[in-house]
Amino acid sequence: MAKIDSEIQQDVLRELSWDPRVKATEIGVEVDRGVVTLTGTVSSWAKRMAALQAAHRVAGVLDVANDVTVKLGSDLVRTDTEIAQAVRRTLEWDVLVPHERIQSTVSKGWVTLEGNVDAWAAREDAERAVESLVGVHGVTNKIAVFAATAVQPETVREAIEEALERRAEREAKRIKVDVTPAGAVTLTGQVRSWAEKRATLAAARFAPGVQTVEDHLEIDPWR
């Protein structure tokens, strides 16, 4: 039986209360036909993302509009130079990130990452490394993925489909995977939840040779 909006709202509020990274009292929650809107003010970009992740974990949630704003306390304010220096040190210390191939720009606390890496996992690792730094208002990830070897579409497609069978066996037959010689993947079909959608996207993004992933997956909890 499908949840009504008020039930989803209460479940999101409970999930926010359960997550120690955020304070539920800082976040407002509205729901309209399964679409959740988050409002309020938090003290870091990491908390803003934690609230988004908490809402997506709730069954019945189709989409989330994250209108939560970041307002740093006086003890958390850093200059752009200090943030840029912290970003560089963080990237250098992270063994999963090819820091010498990544550049950052900081403007009013907002970090923009650019450069190129060999795999989508490294792109996400770089963003994850800097988003929780003190003083960061937000992160824009412009890092490009360039495969070191030529892409064989059929090989990439088979790798993704095998990963889908391992991670979301129920969904594998309902998802169509298209791959171009340039390493561009398009996913279409339906999944039951945001968690299954995230697992499906990860299966595609982490496949060798994939450079971009276009997401046309739809969430339908009740199919």
pLDDT tens string 24-83? 889 999 999 989 999 999 988 889 999 999 999 888 888 899 999 988 877 778 999 999
- pLDDT surpasses 90 at 160: no
Q: In terms of DSSP bridges, do strands 27-32 and 35-42 run parallel, antiparallel, or are they unpaired?
A: antiparallel
- Give the architecture-level CATH label for domain 153-219: 2-Layer Sandwich (3.30)
The C-alpha atoms of residue 65 and residue 67 are separated, in whole angstroms, by 6
pLDDT of residue 66: 94
**Spacing of C-alpha 124 from chain mean position:** 8
The answer to pTM > 0.95 is no
DSSP element (H, E) containing 14: helix 5-18
CA angle 67, 223, 8 (to 5 degrees): 35
Q: Are domains 5-70 and 153-219 of this chain identical in fold? A: yes
**Spacing of C-alpha 22 from chain mean position:** 17
Tokens representing 88? 């560089």
CA-CA-CA-CA torsion sign (141, 143, 147, 153): positive
- The pLDDT of 200-208, averaged and rounded, is 81
Q: How confident is the model at residue 190 (pLDDT cuts 50, 70, 90)?
A: confident
Token pair 């907002």: residue: 110
CATH 3.40.50.720 fits 5-70, yes or no: no
pLDDT of residue 170: 53
pLDDT of residue 167: 59
Q: How confident is the model at residue 169 (pLDDT cuts 50, 70, 90)?
A: low
Highest mean pLDDT among 12-26, 48-62, 97-111: 97-111
The residues, ordered by sequence, that sit 6+ positions from 20 with a Cβ below 8 Å of its Cβ are: none
pLDDT of residue 149: 65
The C-alpha atoms of residue 44 and residue 223 are separated, in whole angstroms, by 37
- pLDDT surpasses 70 at 182: yes
CB neighbours (10 Å) of residue 93?
A: 10
CATH 3.30.1340.30 fits 77-145, yes or no: yes
pLDDT of residue 211: 83
Token pair 């995977």: residue: 177
What are the DSSP E strand ranges found in 9-76?
A: 27-32, 35-42, 63-66, 69-70
Domain coordinates in residue numbering, the chain: 5-70, 77-145, 153-219
What are the φ and ψ backbone dihedral angles of 78, each rounded to 5 degrees? -130, 150
